[in-house]
Copies of this chain bind each other. A is one copy, B any other.
Amino acid sequence: MKVQEGIPQPPSINPDVLTKSERKRRKKYSVDEYVAGILSGNRTILSQAITLVESSLPEHYDKAQSIIEKCLPYSSKSIRIGITGVPGAGKSTFIETFGLHITGEGRKLAVLTIDPSSEQTKGSILGDKTRMEQLSMHPNSFIRPSPAAGTLGGVARKTRETIILCEAAGFDTILVETVGVGQSETAVHSMVDFFLLLMLAGAGDELQGIKRGIMEMADVIAITKADGPNKMIAEGAKVTFQNAIHLFPAKSSGLKPQVLTCSALKNIGINELWEIIMDYFKFTRKSGYFEELRKQQAVIRMHSTIIEYLNNSFYNRKEVKLLRQELEQQLYEGTITSYKAAVILLDKYFKR
């Protein structure tokens, strides 16, 4: 049930650039129509389904869930790559070059972005298209910006569900990009098969900004901008990182994280990186780790969704909100134990 490659996508029907009145005239599809459209590789319907996933209206939620469930069986053949990078690593330029390499390999590529702080506006959509100009115009790529601002858990869920829809629409390669260096990396790590970290040469201070937990996630560390006079500095940084990696615990994939240098601008090292990634997938599919990780991720995501819900339910309860500040003040003054303060709030929540 792969997408029918024969049907060309009319570039004029890009729903992201529809006018307001065009949006209103959109047909309301049934669940089955959505699913059929997605499976046929129709980008307009795919985009509309993603909009449904991103919606916060309850009636959209139910419809979206039904669509996703029917699309679930079509996602096992894809590869999902998470990308993050330190500020200045040139993520957009990298994704543009890397993405064109991937489509050049005959693959169909979807680029998704997670940014819990984003406010989705026309501006930012156009921004995404602009910063990856060639890739966004490529017939075999599909770029979708981050869902509108929300809790990290909410934004992450929407992105996960968008992955499923894209895969059902025939995109066999998914790049999930995180914006900034922060908490969203963990969320992305929980939804991808492979994690790529872009670093900058010139170590020292710049590296302080990246959390070690993020370095620990990396399957490959790519030092970007390794061209011209910067090449030697990048090679030096490569050695530093390789040494640092010795201090890291073994990865559950059984493969050691690799460090390489590349230049997106000069298209150096991009093919080498892609081959390392392909080897990774060959190895993990053969060892069974690929499938096992996806299964584990699904279970972990259920539990983290539950914890997040319990958390929100507790701290948003009016009685808890009212007392919390007072108890924190008492903790600050050292007049109550943490345990007793917790019990008082729990008693309020459970109305005991």
Q: Which residue of B lies closest to A328 (CB)?
A: B299
Q: How many copies does the complex hold?
A: 2
Segment of A23-31, A118-126, A209-217, A259-267 in the binding face? A209-217
Q: Which residue of B lies closest to A350 (CB)?
A: B313
Task: Note all chain B residues with C-beta closer than 8 A to A307.
Answer: 307, 310-311
Residue from the list B69, B243, B250, B342 in contact with A337, Cβ < 8 A:
B69
**Residues 317-339 of A contacting B (Cβ, < 8 Å):** 327-328, 331-332, 334-339
Interface SS of chain A: helix
Task: Note all chain B residues with C-beta closer than 8 A to A65.
Answer: 337, 339-340
Is the beta-carbon distance between A298 and B338 smaller than 8 angstroms? yes
Is the beta-carbon distance between B302 and A342 smaller than 8 angstroms? yes
Of listed A76, A215, A345, residue having the most chain B CB within 10 A: A345
A249 interface residue (CB < 8 Å to B) = yes
State the CA gap A301–B302 with chains docked (Å): 25
Q: What is the number of residues of chain A that contact chain B, defined by CB distance less than 8 Å? A: 59
State the CA gap A187–B78 with chains docked (Å): 40
State the CA gap A304–B72 with chains docked (Å): 35
Residue from the list B72, B336, B338, B346 in contact with A309, Cβ < 8 A:
B346
Q: Which residue of B lies closest to A213 (CB)?
A: B213
Task: Note all chain B residues with C-beta closer than 8 A to A208.
Answer: 248-250
Interface string of A106-132 (1 = CB under 8 A from B): 000000000000000000000000000
Task: Note all chain B residues with C-beta closer than 8 A to A244.
Answer: 243-244, 247
State the CA gap A207–B246 with chains docked (Å): 8
A77 interface residue (CB < 8 Å to B) = no
Asked, given contacts A157-B339, A160-B338, A298-B334, whether A311 binds B310 with beta carbons under 8 Å apart, the answer is yes
A305 interface residue (CB < 8 Å to B) = yes
Residue from the list B72, B339, B342 in contact with A335, Cβ < 8 A:
B72
A306 interface residue (CB < 8 Å to B) = yes
State the CA gap A339–B309 with chains docked (Å): 11
Task: Note all chain B residues with C-beta closer than 8 A to A306.
Answer: 314, 342, 345-346
Is the beta-carbon distance between A334 and B250 smaller than 8 angstroms? no
Task: Note all chain B residues with C-beta closer than 8 A to A250.
Answer: 208
Asked, given contacts A65-B340, A212-B216, A337-B68, whether A314 binds B310 with beta carbons under 8 Å apart, the answer is yes
Q: Which residue of B lies closest to A191 (CB)?
A: B338
A161 interface residue (CB < 8 Å to B) = yes
What 12 new A-B contacts, CB under 8 Å, besides A65-B339, A301-B339? A69-B337, A72-B336, A212-B215, A212-B247, A294-B334, A295-B331, A295-B332, A299-B332, A305-B342, A306-B314, A306-B342, A310-B310
